[in-house]
Amino acid sequence: MTGKSDDPWLGISASPPGPRLNGRLVAGSRPWEIFRALDHLGRRILFLVHARVAASGTTLPKIAGVDVEARVRSEDDKGILSVTLENADDADIFTRFTDDIIETVAAARDEVTAVQSFVGRTWKWHSFLKGGRKPTLSREVQLGLIGELWTLLNIIAPSRGLNTAVMGWRGSQRAPKDFELSDLCIECKARGAASRNKVRITSEHQLDDVSGHQLILLVHTFATADEKDAGALDLYEIVEQVRSAITSDAPHALKAFEAALEDAGHDDTHQYEVIVLHRAFDAYRVRDGFPRIVPGAFPDGPVEVAYDLPLADLSAFHMSERDFNGLLAGKD
């Protein structure tokens, strides 16, 4: 049980009735604004203050005993994401739940990732508290996850090390970019060799610029294979390849990798039917003139935008393998 002396809500005054919350900023949360508060009924709350645009496409879970809410603060038009404990008897588990949110959000590189990390942890705890078995990943998601893990193991790790590759993997957290490195963001797409020559961009944030970072769209091409084919990959195989490499070369990163796998929905007990051969990858530098939709492109228009991007239109932005490897190595 949590004692009064180590209760993180100790000493916080109850807020007045109404939407305004008197919160205490969580130490170490900057630059993100995470607060603990008590509402006028004395219920414990953790909330994140953010720009409204950062929460585009957010869907929240329903958790028994916890109110998960997204709203807009009227005085400054800021977004508020919050979790409120309804029953004080569950204070211990709520503290662990919110500590997990704080740790994950504090590591985010940008505000969109901070918001998605907050939401992602609520979904993880929703699954945990519900005690249900994770649904099996769709064929499309299986292929996308194979592409991300292939990138981690065969592209980023040889250049920057396994630890950097694992810690930079953000796709499992529903973040806008699949990989966020110190100076480089990579958005991965996986397509079938026989599919139409295009990729699906699933939000206006995926190809948005990140301050201080170069941005690469990395498109993998996979061919359908049989499990007996040399080099054939399914999720089991690529996961075991990454696990083996981490265990050998970066064992301290294994816990983070397993947590990211869980967030991605992978389950070693599931049946995965997608079996492929990696044929090629193409890197495109996302810069001025790149055909994309980003936040603010239509100030009074739609949000949660998804669109198809024909690869034939991207030839001017295509990078040679040598240039791409040089960028990864920090020579660009």
Beta strand 318-319 with 214-224 is unpaired
In terms of Cα–Cα distance, which of 212, 205, 177, 158 is closest to 304? 205
Per domain, the residue ranges of the chain are: 4-130, 139-328
Higher-pLDDT residue of 302, 289: 289
Query: For tokens 């963001």, what's the residue?
Result: 185
**Residue 55: pLDDT above 70?**
no
In this prediction, residue 190 carries a pLDDT of 96
Is-contact 138 227, C-beta < 8 A? no
Higher-pLDDT residue of 303, 284: 284
**Residue 271: pLDDT above 90?**
no
Q: Which residues pair with 307 in a beta bridge?
A: 201
**pLDDT, tens only, 124-150:** 888 777 665 567 899 999 999 999 999
Could you tell me if residue 324 is left (phi over 0), alpha (psi between -120 and 50 degrees) or otherwise beta?
A: alpha
In this prediction, residue 1 carries a pLDDT of 45
Poorest-pLDDT segment among 15-19, 201-205, 288-292: 15-19
Q: Which residues pair with 67 in a beta bridge?
A: 84
What whole-number distance in Å separates Cα of residue 246 and Cα of residue 147?
18
**Residue 328: pLDDT above 70?**
yes
Report DSSP letters for 80-92, one per residue: EEEEEES-GGGHH
